[in-house]
């Protein structure tokens, strides 16, 4: 055997030994490392209990799996967890990874649960976690200008990433101990699907696809959300471009007294028709329209006082243009609603007048008057 062949064989053998040893460690030693090193550090940083049931990595198969992740609530909150996920699974291409691109063929996140809580003292658990992650000098971070934050984001390099398919099932629960004697609870079940979403552009490549379906946990027929759209390659996360269309239906306005008072209207139910066009984080006001549909609505407050004796139709819609940017959207529902109601009431008044007054009789009287006036003029001539 030549010297060159011996070197090649030696390198191959060494690589096999290294990969095999690493795979054995990842299979049998990874969980011990997580329990002894990673979890204690996470608990120290967050100030809460952290648990990871198991983790496994298959180098040859290009897959990662993590199960049983639990992050506890900070002190002062009686709910046991703020975050949990039963199973997180990723399949990726090792060959593409060696070439500098992270190509993920499939991501599945099953039974992800996020519980946001406001306790009796008005404190919110997510803010506590954020404070822990901010480090020892949150004042300096808060004092940063938006320009300084943007400069840091511009300098950050985003890895080349392509996600062929991603599926997330998530339950977001809000618990409020201040609203009533018994805790107020509201859960939203959401399924999110992504296809061919990337952080780099390729000639001739189409935009990625996304879809979201959601409904209330307690009532699957309420707050039903179906949004679909497409998204451009995410070169700069602060300046995304996307199109979104869909509907949010059967929104129950009971319990939204503050919102109803502010708008001057209450309704049995509300639905939203969504059509949004966003380019580089800016909404196109001419094509981004959110149409609010009211059913069995009635006026309250000042609007009701001004429109005494007049009623709204069983159903009516209010289109509102969406402008501005993602950071500072411009959406004036109250102004659009007021204008729509004024128009509806004006139409009602016209209808009342039409019923009271015989328009044909008036028209005939006016015509006859002009004819007589014309005859008198001719006689004088």
* pLDDT at residue number 380: 45
CA distance linking residue 75 with residue 41, whole number of Å = 18
- Look at strands 282-283 and 289-299 and give their pairing: unpaired
What pLDDT tens digit does each residue of the chain (381 aa) get? Answer: 566 655 655 555 555 555 555 555 556 567 777 888 889 999 999 999 999 998 888 877 788 889 999 999 999 999 999 999 999 999 988 778 778 888 999 999 999 999 999 999 999 999 999 888 876 554 554 555 555 555 554 545 688 999 999 999 999 999 999 887 888 898 999 999 999 999 998 888 899 999 999 999 988 988 899 999 999 999 999 999 999 999 998 887 766 666 666 777 888 888 999 999 999 999 999 999 999 998 888 888 777 777 676 678 888 889 999 999 999 999 888 788 878 877 777 776 555 445 444 455 555 555 555 555 444 444 444
* pLDDT at residue number 378: 45
CA distance linking residue 222 with residue 248, whole number of Å = 9
**Domain ranges within the chain, ordered by starting residue:** 1-238, 248-381
CA distance linking residue 53 with residue 71, whole number of Å = 12
In terms of Cβ atoms closer than 10 Å to its own Cβ (0-12, 13-18, 19+), residue 292 is: buried
Q: Where are the alpha helices (DSSP H) in 47-181?
A: 94-98, 125-134, 138-142, 146-155
Cα distances (Å, whole numbers) of residue 19 to 9, 32, 95:
15, 19, 15
* pLDDT at residue number 260: 65
CA-nearest of 56, 8, 12, 48 to 32 is 56
In terms of Cβ atoms closer than 10 Å to its own Cβ (0-12, 13-18, 19+), residue 299 is: buried
Going by the DSSP 8-state scheme, the letter that residue 378 receives in this structure is H
């Amino acid at each position: 055997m030549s010297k060159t062949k011996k070197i090649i064989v030696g390198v191959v053998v060494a690589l096999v030994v290294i990969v095999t040893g690493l795979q054995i460690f990842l299979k049998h030693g990874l969980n011990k490392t997580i329990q002894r090193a990673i979890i204690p550090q996470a608990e120290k940083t967050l100030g809460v209990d952290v648990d990871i049931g198991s983790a496994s990595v298959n180098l040859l198969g290009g897959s990662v799996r993590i199960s049983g992740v639990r992050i506890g609530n900070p002190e002062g909150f009686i709910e046991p967890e703020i975050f949990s996920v039963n199973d997180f699974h990723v399949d990726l291409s090792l060959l593409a990874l060696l070439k500098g691109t992270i190509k993920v063929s499939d991501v599945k996140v099953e039974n992800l649960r996020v519980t946001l809580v406001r306790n009796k003292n008005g404190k919110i658990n997510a803010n506590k976690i954020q404070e822990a992650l901010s480090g020892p000098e949150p004042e300096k971070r808060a004092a940063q200008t938006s320009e300084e934050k943007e400069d840091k984001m511009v300098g950050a390099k985003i890895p080349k990433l392509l996600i062929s398919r991603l599926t997330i099932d998530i339950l977001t629960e809000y618990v409020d101990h201040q609203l009533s004697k018994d805790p107020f609870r509201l859960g939203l079940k959401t399924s999110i699907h992504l296809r061919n979403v990337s952080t780099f552009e390729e000639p001739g490549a189409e935009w990625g696809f996304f879809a979201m379906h959601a409904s209330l946990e307690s009532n699957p027929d309420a707050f039903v959300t179906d949004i679909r759209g497409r998204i451009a390659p995410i070169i700069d996360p602060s300046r995304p471009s996307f199109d979104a269309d869909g509907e949010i239906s059967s929104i129950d306005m009971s319990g939204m007294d503050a919102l109803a008072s502010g708008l001057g209207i209450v309704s049995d139910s509300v639905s939203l028709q969504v059509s949004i066009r966003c380019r580089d984080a800016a909404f196109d006001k001419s094509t981004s329209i959110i149409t609010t549909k009211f059913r069995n609505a009635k006026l309250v407050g000042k609007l009701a006082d001004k429109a005494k004796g007049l009623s709204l139709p069983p159903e009516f819609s209010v289109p509102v243009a969406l402008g501005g940017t993602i950071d500072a959207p411009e959406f004036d529902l109250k102004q659009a609603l007021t204008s729509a109601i004024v128009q509806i009431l004006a139409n009602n008044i016209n209808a009342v007048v039409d019923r009271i007054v015989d328009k044909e009789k008036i028209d005939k009287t006016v015509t006859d008057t002009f004819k007589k006036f014309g005859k008198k003029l001719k006689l004088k001539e």
